[in-house]
A and B are shown apart, each in its own frame.
Chain A
């Protein structure tokens, strides 16, 4: 199946710094990628939909100035957590659908391995 690579897999940073997480589709093109956040023993919460070449669509309650998303190419989306604080510590996961299957909105999502962020 299609592969989505996420980097870094874990990161520890100091409070107030910014952290960038990359999400790449390795063997397919993705016009749309999705960023999720997951707290321990909880479900995935959609943060935003990343659209190639245009602005991301954020879910209600997600601060767009806090979580900057850039989708500059069909294979790369980045999430930057700006001025991170301990409450931003979480597991961030990206996902994507194969561009070739975009005509079918029910296609499976391919997930990255996730990025564990710890803010001290």
Chain B
């Protein structure tokens, strides 16, 4: 069966460090992968998109990698700040349908 797995345990890091979140998938052939941020009681907010033919994407302090051989995406936040504390969701999409399938999300906590 298809699965999208993110570390269900919260990731706690110190301010200024780089946070790395993982998204693994099985039985999927995604055409693209997206990362979203979700704060408690709020809807998700889009962060980055990476396509299957792309290895890496950057946006300010954010970096996403996409390894279709390992079936994995890594999401990095450099110079992390307490304001980065939130739940981060990865979502996979195929080229034949416009709907997204979301992972379970990883809670990031950045402390001073």
Q: List chain A positions with a Cβ less than 8 A from chain B.
A: 1, 4, 6, 32, 34, 36, 42-46, 49, 91, 93, 95, 97, 105-114, 116
Contacts and interface: CB of A to CB of B under 8 A. Distances in A.
Contacts of A36: 102
B112 to A, nearest CB: 25
Given A106-B95, A111-B36, 18 more contacts: A1-B46, A6-B43, A34-B99, A36-B102, A45-B102, A46-B101, A93-B43, A95-B43, A105-B93, A105-B95, A105-B98, A106-B31, A106-B34, A108-B46, A108-B49, A109-B100, A113-B43, A114-B42
Given A43-B105, A44-B102, A49-B99, A106 B43 contact: no
Interface of B: 31-32, 34, 36, 41-46, 49, 51, 89, 93, 95, 97-105
B46 A110 contact: yes
